[in-house]
């Protein structure tokens, strides 16, 4: 299946000069969505990635992480922006192109012996995925790898990530 044909390009969003890859059209296509989840599942299994938990970053990582966790027989743990989780959290601050941002995970969500797979819709510069991996490593988890629907290759995000398996379905 040609997933690129199901991903809409929106020029100049969220600001001038940016070409936004919109996955809402993929999400709304039943066969495309099924193919995406099935293919991610198959690739994970083929690579021997059998996590205890799938960890998805806010918010589009949730959309793909939950069904992937279900198919892998794993639990799902959300990583969120500050102030969104109600219990005690671990937090990591990371650099953006202009400034910083933070991510949080519940302190009781994972233990140091758990194996995890990090999932998001897209890898661009790699900052969010790298920060998530660092946060999980701080907790003591075994990060098995990463899975993304889209990779924006020119932005070099893959190079920022640890030397672990990286699954992508569509490259631009």
**Which residues belong to the active site?**
60, 97
The Cα angle at residue 27 between residues 24 and 29, in degrees rounded to 5: 115
The token pair at 148 is: 């993304």
| Strand ranges (E), 23-135 | 53-57, 75-79, 89-96, 99-106, 115-123
Quick check: helix, strand or coil at residue 163? coil
DSSP 147: E
**Backbone Cα Rg of the chain:** 16
> Which residues are bridge partners to 103 per DSSP?
92
């Amino acid at each position: 299946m040609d997933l690129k044909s199901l991903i809409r390009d929106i020029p100049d969003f969220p600001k001038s000069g940016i070409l936004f890859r919109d996955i809402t059209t993929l999400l709304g296509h039943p066969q495309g969505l099924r193919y995406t989840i099935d293919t991610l599942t198959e690739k994970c299994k083929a690579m021997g990635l059998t996590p205890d938990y799938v960890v998805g970053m806010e918010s589009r990582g949730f959309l793909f992480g939950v069904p992937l966790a279900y198919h892998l027989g794993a639990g799902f743990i959300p990583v969120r922006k500050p102030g969104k989780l109600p219990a005690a959290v671990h937090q990591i601050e990371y650099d953006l192109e202009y400034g910083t941002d933070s991510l949080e995970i519940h302190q009781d969500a994972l233990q140091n012996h758990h194996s995890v797979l990090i999932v998001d819709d897209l890898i661009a510069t790699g900052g969010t995925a790298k920060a998530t991996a660092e946060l999980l490593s701080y907790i003591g988890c075994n990060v098995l790898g990463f899975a993304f629907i889209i990779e924006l290759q020119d932005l070099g995000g893959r190079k920022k990530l640890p030397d672990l398996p990286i699954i992508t379905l569509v490259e631009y």
